[in-house]
Structure 1
């Protein structure tokens, strides 16, 4: 017999997984020495009972794990913004155009519904020339270069 006629087995075939539906099939598998695993299915009558329990449990989890909504603009910031805008005789649309934002964004900021964005607040501060962040909200913004002038001695 040559090498070409011999059959080479590289690995054993994997055991087939079969679903056994009858008692006869179960007995035949046990006689062959196959590994038999039983899975117990849920009964329809019990499922209807668990549905109500699951909803109650899920609702309880929702109540207990409430996520805090994100902080919105402080009322004092929105009032200072509105006051400064009116002093400059600007409409919300004009202010939005100047800061390159949507009019709806300005409306949200003035109604204290917006989530604060530092970049937008900075743009609004520059246009309105009023502090909207940190301490002294509503105070006029210091002019650019005023720190350098204050550091120089006066003659």
Structure 2
């Protein structure tokens, strides 16, 4: 149908308002209904929900108590990069006239990883050692 504004067709929209239905007075989840039931003397069952309303997450597994941790044996220290491997990495890198950053870039690792291996602070990872062996051309794993 033509419009009075130059022939364009327009649509008249009527607003639609949605209303929430009011809870029934018998619904005991409604605090007003609970209060009314308490005032009238009706029996109301209450359940205490522990940690309700807090932002805590439930423990995934069994709760570990501090006493059990104290009585447990100390975990064994993790092995670090041996001195001979550290020195082999440094020597091979310097012979190839590479910086630690260049080596890290070639093995696709962060500079921090190479620094930790050369300082002996890293826990040896066979995949990283294999990459270093390939780039540096030296044997770092297994028997020499």
Q: Given the two structures, how large is their TM-score scaled by the length of structure 1?
A: 0.48
Aligned match of 2:102: 94
C-alpha distance in structure 2 between counterparts of 1:62 and 1:113, whole Å:
27
C-alpha distance in structure 2 between counterparts of 1:132 and 1:106, whole Å:
14
Q: Does 1:75 align with 2:83?
A: yes
Q: Does 1:126 align with 2:144?
A: no
Inter-CA distance 91–61: structure 2 relative to 1 (3 Å threshold): same
How far has the Cα of 1:62 moved from its partner? Answer: 3.0
Q: How does 1:5-154 map to 2 (within 5 A)?
A: 58=67, 62=70, 65-136=73-144
C-alpha distance in structure 2 between counterparts of 1:64 and 1:124, whole Å:
38
| Gaps in structure 1 of 5+ consecutive residues | 1-56, 137-155
C-alpha distance in structure 2 between counterparts of 1:63 and 1:111, whole Å:
34
C-alpha distance in structure 1 between counterparts of 2:107 and 2:79, whole Å:
22
| Gaps in structure 2 of 5+ consecutive residues | 1-65
Count of aligned positions = 84
C-alpha distance in structure 1 between counterparts of 2:77 and 2:104, whole Å:
26
C-alpha distance in structure 2 between counterparts of 1:93 and 1:101, whole Å:
9
Q: Which has the higher helix share?
A: 1
